[in-house]
Amino acid sequence: MTRAKAPRTERTRAPSSAGQEPPAPRVATASDVSAALALLANEQRAAVSRRFFKTGAGQYGEGDAFLGVTVPAQRVVAKQFSALELPEVRKLLWSRYHEERLTALLILVRQFERSRKVPAKQQAIFAFYLASLTQINNWDLVDSSAPAIVGGYLFSRERKLLYELAQREHLWSRRVAILATQYFIRKGDLADTLALAEQLLGDPEDLIHKAVGWMLREVGHKSVPTLKGFLDHHAQVMPRTMLRYALEKLTPEERAHYMLAGRGERG
């Protein structure tokens, strides 16, 4: 028996999208970054951070607020939003939350380092950074960004700005000045670190003493004779913390020699 053929039906086709513009991708905002960080917040960790970063009355981090997000987690968020535009980065930098400011700076560092062949982009980030120094207001914020952005930009340029920053009353500007030279040290250029260290010998702040001592120690990694030459001239007047940091990688005998020199000047 021959089966009757089913009538052929016309398939419904989706209308062609030829000639139509695809929807524009959504541009990330500062609010998106804030939301991503909020999902990672931890109040117990925030409480520890408030103590660690000295947020009490009269301390260097007075009034700073924390979400309680780890730095590795912030780096993941920064990578996710690495294309964030500068006006949105600015909103994060003006946040009351420490982690939002640090994430903003990590984004800036990523953008700067990936713009080596785009000088105008690097110049814009550098100028933006300098205009935002009031918000780069704790040691980890400076240390995570100044070497790459300020040091990276000035390495092949005039560096007079660093000496101007080192004279400012603003504590974090002075730390930016010396930390920027970490980039130079990595390239084997030690002269500005030594000159700025000498300029900052009389600085009253312990956080500057630590930063200078740390950079001198890094100089020693490149050239022990260069470090020892600086110490021979200045150990007697160096603040104790600065001296201890600078000596960390020397031999026990060398450390004892320079610590004794320092004590001798202080009587």
Q: How far apart are CA 203 and CA 214, in angstroms?
A: 15
Token couple for 89: 């980065």
Q: Is the dihedral of CA 15, 20, 25, 27 positive or negative?
A: negative
Domain boundaries in the chain?
29-117
At the second CATH level, the architecture of 29-117 is Alpha Horseshoe (1.25)
HSE (side-chain half, CA atoms, 13 Å) at 214: 14
DSSP 135: G
Query: Is the pTM above the cut of 0.85?
Result: yes
Please give, one letter per residue, the 3-state secondary structure of 160-181. HHHHHHCCCCCHHHHHHHHHHH
pLDDT string in tens for the chain (267-residue length) = 444 454 444 444 544 455 566 665 678 999 999 999 999 999 999 999 999 999 999 999 999 999 999 999 999 999 999 999 999 999 999 999 999 999 999 999 999 999 999 999 999 999 999 999 999 999 999 999 999 999 999 999 999 999 999 999 999 999 999 999 999 999 999 999 999 999 999 999 999 999 999 999 999 999 999 999 999 999 999 999 999 999 999 999 999 999 998 764 444
